[in-house]
A and B are shown apart, each in its own frame.
Chain A
Amino acid sequence: MATNAMDRRRINGPQRTVEPIYSKDTDPFASGRKDSRSLDQVRPIYMKTGPLSTQANDLSASSAAAASGSAFYEQGNIRVSCAVYGPRQGRKSNTRMGSFDCDFRYAPFSCSWKKRSHVRGADEKEISLMLEHAIAPAIRLDAYPKACIDAFVTVIESDGKSATIAAAINCISAALVDAGIEMYDSVAACSMGLWESQWVADCSQAEENVSSSTMIIAYMPSADEVTYMLQHGKTSPDQTDQAVQTCINMCTRVYAVLCRGLQASISE
């Protein structure tokens, strides 16, 4: 149960709440995938960089506290928003290289299971670190001595844990490019789940619940380098091999979508 030290800085509800038992969902793979995707198909991606505003109002948009870059990313039901600040005054003592920090958060209402506590959970810290590791190799930190770059990511809606992490990586990539930060390449990421010895791309939450193993890969297509790879669950080495290959192929496709979106953002 939740640790219920009273948090006086927030409005508190009752001490203990539970999810009601909902009538059972059916097997997600009962008759093909629910959204009639093929097994290696990523959900449709929508991406927008720059301020979320629809009207261009340049003078008012350039307030001093505005982020250097931002992006909003959708992949099916997944919605992630990211703001990048920097390069700005560094807090760390490393003056030779810049530093990159990442802060990942779920909005309290973003998950299909129980409401998330306001206090930052261990999983959010873990994912923050994952994102840092996945993205940092792509940034030319040597070009920014003394400076630091901060990325703040908030998940507004999630649908599939691994897919959400992959979406966050794509979102940060886009926001970094939008901020004009020098990068070796943009990182594209993609996830898969193993369901009855078959790899299924970009699992939704219902699909992930029944899959025995998941895989996340972050990849820089131009450099042909994998920056991050995480697999948990039980697979044979051959299956993992196969998954890496398929994931890389999908990442390349995601990358193409990202690049097209970014190009469109400055060529209106």
Chain B
Amino acid sequence: MSSETIVTPGRRLGLLEEHDAGAGTYVRSGMIYSSILGTKTITTSETSEKPIIQVDRKSPLAIPSIGSEVLCRVIRMNPRAASVAIMMVGSTPCQEDFMGTIRHQDIRSTEKDSVQMINSFRPGDVVRAEVISLGDQRSYYLATTKNEHGVVFAQSTAGNTMIPVSWEEMQDPKTKAIEKRKCAKVF
């Protein structure tokens, strides 16, 4: 059950008494207004008794927020943390990189004290991670504690793309050399 019209920001969509405000809308003095350009949809769901009004945008925005899954590239490292450039939020590419930090205590969930940065990431690696806080002034704080988070793409010192052989190791298929990484579990 949905009806569609194209709305612009500031367009009145309905009363808060009759509807719930969904994504792309805001509420002012009991009224629901659109806050973006998009198509208005009204959906009913079992969880709430009122139908939800929301506005679907034509193309999604990629901004990291707490809990979102991101893909990032390791830029530089020190013994305490790795600096990364966030390139994708969910499945949406960012227009420009956001900066992120993976601290050594956020790399894995167990034996945090024995984690060594150098055995987890190397500059250039592509890492899947989760945003855990908005972080400091410069960067978002990310974590790779979950099994499916960690290095998804890495090159060996010889320059070949490596294949994960365990959750801690990756192997160069040509030289058979093994390097240490915090690997993401392959789905």
**Contact, chains A and B (beta carbon distance below 8 A):** yes
Footprint of B on A, CB under 8 Å? 62, 64-68, 85, 87-89, 93, 95, 138, 140, 144-147, 177-178, 180-186, 220-223, 258-259, 262-263, 265-267
A180 to B38, CA, bound (A): 9
Number of chain B residues close to chain A: CB under 8 A: 29
CB-defined contacts of B96 to chain A, threshold 8 Å: 64-65, 85, 88-89
Contact A146 B134 (CB under 8 A): yes
Contact for A221 among B10, B35, B98, CB less than 8 A: B10
Is B57 interfacial (CB 8 A cutoff)?
yes
Contact B37 A262 (CB under 8 A): yes
Contact A185 B9 (CB under 8 A): yes
A184 to B11, CA, bound (A): 9
Q: How far is the CB of A220 from chain B (nearest CB, A)?
A: 7
Footprint of A on B, CB under 8 Å? 6-12, 24, 26, 28, 33, 35-38, 57-59, 61, 63, 93, 95-99, 134, 137, 140
A178 to B8, CA, bound (A): 10
Asked, given contacts A180-B36, A266-B37, whether A87 binds B61 with beta carbons under 8 Å apart, the answer is: yes
Q: How far is the CB of B83 from chain A (nearest CB, A)?
A: 13
Contact A66 B9 (CB under 8 A): no
Q: List 5 A-B contacts (CB under 8 A).
A: A64-B95, A147-B63, A182-B24, A185-B9, A223-B10
Query: Interface centre among B11, B28, B96, by most A CB within 10 Å?
Result: B96
Contact for A68 among B38, B95, B137, CB less than 8 A: B95
Closest residue of A by beta carbon distance from B57: A180
